[in-house]
Chain A
């Protein structure tokens, strides 16, 4: 099996290196063939691994393959931990990546950086594999940083555009904040556990549990919170979410792959992986849940006022990530992973569909200038509909099962604030339906607002774009129905996730109330989330199709609320004022004090001036005349002799005696 895992992880890297180094000479066709082949190999092997571990119940693979470095007794290795959680992640990552690779052929066709782009996304796939397959924190951190690096490279892919450069700088800096917390968490973990290996860490968790730090803070809580700061950065939770909407400056395929389906879910994956540690800290879990709820509700609200097609989907991603985080907070890790999976499919689908629209519209992204595309782009229309229905949780579609399970899990949770979080996630359903269908109606229905020139060229996109849409629409529609039972209730993820069901009984309670996937669908019409969703669709229809002028009227009526939403709650402005200007002022101050005053004036010029001063004092002694030196030597000798004569221990001459 070891060779299979290695091939799985390394084949995208090999593809990426070949295309990255020799892309210009290979030409476009060969470049995309090589990278797609690499990822296709990974996909096939991922399915094989999934079959071996999950379906046939193969043993967990946990071995170090290579010693990266040995520092004292600390052994840092490159190793693989492949269990059912990893297998599920591998399938998601490789499949979505493969779809995005194929999609890119059509999307980037007239771009100069065609081969470079393929090299980057293959590299990303490799990094993501390393992240999910790692068996220790160091390799996790390596994958974590590597996906961050590729994300940075790809957000700024069109580096001629100033906004893209600003966005990737922002993404990079915000992720630094999260990664710093993450690194501190790993360091603290190393200090108290003495190992970076997952299995050893989890085995020691009970021993470390109860130790305290900084007075009476539980070590486990501090470690969990720091690790979660890392997850907040990568998975874009409030207040470190600001980079994700900006990342939409990058090409659409990477928005789908990195900023919706895979990389941003790394934080969710990481917390699930750390479930044996997180289970020990109710404080950390509550923080996780509340942060998730805030993100889920408030980021969804922002989606309503956005007019850029990609930004609407981006805010929806933020909101869905919030849902996953809420699930983590209530100890429903398997539900979070379940939502991660369904979300990966339908959100990748929505992004790629949005990209398809953008291509057809000649890179126009404003939904106010679209409308009536239904007839011109039937495949995109239908797949978008599937994706949107899955996103809002329409009964039967993938998102319905996962989101419903999250809401129910929150309902059963007994953590503090769980009641408030429940209201937040239920309200979130209404908002999700509202912004999703507002966008859907504005783009595909109603009267066309497309300008005449574009309208003439408007047609369905090429097959390399529509094929991935169809391929993603299938799992978006059905995967929830088929996987909800094995994944949540019959133990697909049991060998990777630990839940202390005595205190955190949400999943156990879910299991008790669960009968079958079909029963969930039929039962749904009697539940609050369903009617919230219907209300959302109705509201969206009312304001974006039936009476569009009402939307403007409401915007005018509630100008202040609108202002708050349009300024994105002022996070950007706050960061601008406090962090950007603050750090600039701090830098200015440090420049003046430490650079100019201490280093330049005191250390550098000071030492020079000191040397010059000492020189000017001593210089007269060094006349350069031999007889002066001889004179000083003789005088010195005489002084010494006189001193010996007159006042040594046993003076030869006693003056005055």
Chain B
């Protein structure tokens, strides 16, 4: 039997990987988007685990919404990326610092 805590630990590990990815990876914006997806996946795992063990389907419905929103977000993000690559010739994070004081 897989306990709730095992799910939570898994989700925490995935969350950490995603977070570390955001901070450590400073070269590619696509990587950042992927890491954001990882974090979202960790959140979704939590939702599903709690909904299953709490006998409440609302959590699983939430996950569908989140997946939809994430898909939309990625679509917009990739669109922005494409435009940026066209304008700047690079999707390097360090290059996109024109707002830096």
By a beta-carbon cutoff of 8 Å, the part of chain A in contact with chain B is 627-628, 630-631, 634-635, 638, 652-653
A619 to B9, CA, bound (A): 35
Which residues on B sit within 8 Å (CB–CB) of A638?
A: 16
Residues 1-48 (chain B) with a chain A CB within 8 angstroms: 5, 9, 16, 19-20, 23-24, 26
A631→B24 contact, CB < 8 A = yes
Which residues on B sit within 8 Å (CB–CB) of A627?
A: 23, 26
**Who on chain A is nearest to B6 by CB?**
A653
Chain A nearest Cβ from B20, distance in angstroms: 8
Which residues on A sit within 8 Å (CB–CB) of B9?
A: 653
B contact residues, total (Cβ < 8 Å): 8
**Who on chain B is nearest to A642 by CB?**
B12
B23→A652 contact, CB < 8 A = no
A634→B5 contact, CB < 8 A = no
A634 to B17, CA, bound (A): 12
A652 to B9, CA, bound (A): 11
CB contact between A630 and one of B5, B16, B23 (< 8 Å): that residue: B23
* Apart from A631-B23, A631-B24, A653-B5: 4 A-B pairs, beta carbons within 8 A: A627-B23, A634-B19, A634-B23, A635-B20
Residues 69-91 (chain B) with a chain A CB within 8 angstroms: none
Total A-B residue pairs with C-beta atoms closer than 8 Å? 14
Chain A nearest Cβ from B75, distance in angstroms: 25
Which residues on B sit within 8 Å (CB–CB) of A630?
A: 23
Chain B nearest Cβ from A645, distance in angstroms: 8
Chain B nearest Cβ from A120, distance in angstroms: 71
By a beta-carbon cutoff of 8 Å, the part of chain B in contact with chain A is 5, 9, 16, 19-20, 23-24, 26
CB contact between A652 and one of B5, B16, B20, B26 (< 8 Å): that residue: B5
9 nearest interchain CB pairs? A631-B23, A627-B23, A653-B5, A634-B19, A638-B16, A630-B23, A653-B9, A652-B5, A634-B23
A653 to B7, CA, bound (A): 12
Chain A nearest Cβ from B10, distance in angstroms: 12
A638 to B26, CA, bound (A): 21
**Who on chain A is nearest to B19 by CB?**
A634
A638 to B23, CA, bound (A): 14
Chain B nearest Cβ from A25, distance in angstroms: 69
Chain A nearest Cβ from B5, distance in angstroms: 6
Chain A nearest Cβ from B38, distance in angstroms: 14
Chain B nearest Cβ from A588, distance in angstroms: 58
Which residues on A sit within 8 Å (CB–CB) of B19?
A: 634
Which residues on B sit within 8 Å (CB–CB) of A628?
A: 23
A105 to B92, CA, bound (A): 98
Chain A nearest Cβ from B79, distance in angstroms: 24
**Who on chain A is nearest to B26 by CB?**
A627
A205 to B5, CA, bound (A): 90
**Who on chain B is nearest to A628 by CB?**
B23
Which residues on B sit within 8 Å (CB–CB) of A653?
A: 5, 9
- 12 A-B pairs with C-beta separation under 8 A: A627-B23, A627-B26, A630-B23, A631-B20, A631-B24, A634-B19, A634-B23, A635-B20, A638-B16, A652-B5, A653-B5, A653-B9
Which residues on A sit within 8 Å (CB–CB) of B16?
A: 638
**Who on chain A is nearest to B23 by CB?**
A631
Chain B nearest Cβ from A130, distance in angstroms: 73
Which residues on A sit within 8 Å (CB–CB) of B24?
A: 631
Q: Tell me which of B16, B19, B23, B26 has the highest count of chain A C-beta atoms within 10 A of its own C-beta.
A: B23
A158 to B19, CA, bound (A): 86
**Who on chain B is nearest to A634 by CB?**
B19
Which residues on B sit within 8 Å (CB–CB) of A635?
A: 20
A635 to B24, CA, bound (A): 12
A627 to B20, CA, bound (A): 11
A627 to B19, CA, bound (A): 11
**Who on chain B is nearest to A630 by CB?**
B23
**Who on chain A is nearest to B93 by CB?**
A627
Which residues on B sit within 8 Å (CB–CB) of A631?
A: 20, 23-24
**Who on chain B is nearest to A655 by CB?**
B9
Which residues on B sit within 8 Å (CB–CB) of A652?
A: 5
A638 to B9, CA, bound (A): 12
Chain A nearest Cβ from B49, distance in angstroms: 15
Which residues on A sit within 8 Å (CB–CB) of B26?
A: 627
Which residues on A sit within 8 Å (CB–CB) of B23?
A: 627-628, 630-631, 634
Chain A nearest Cβ from B35, distance in angstroms: 12
Chain A nearest Cβ from B16, distance in angstroms: 6
A653 to B12, CA, bound (A): 13
A631 to B24, CA, bound (A): 8
A652 to B20, CA, bound (A): 24
A122 to B9, CA, bound (A): 97
Chain A nearest Cβ from B82, distance in angstroms: 24
A653 to B3, CA, bound (A): 11
A631 to B19, CA, bound (A): 8
Chain B nearest Cβ from A313, distance in angstroms: 88
A653 to B26, CA, bound (A): 34
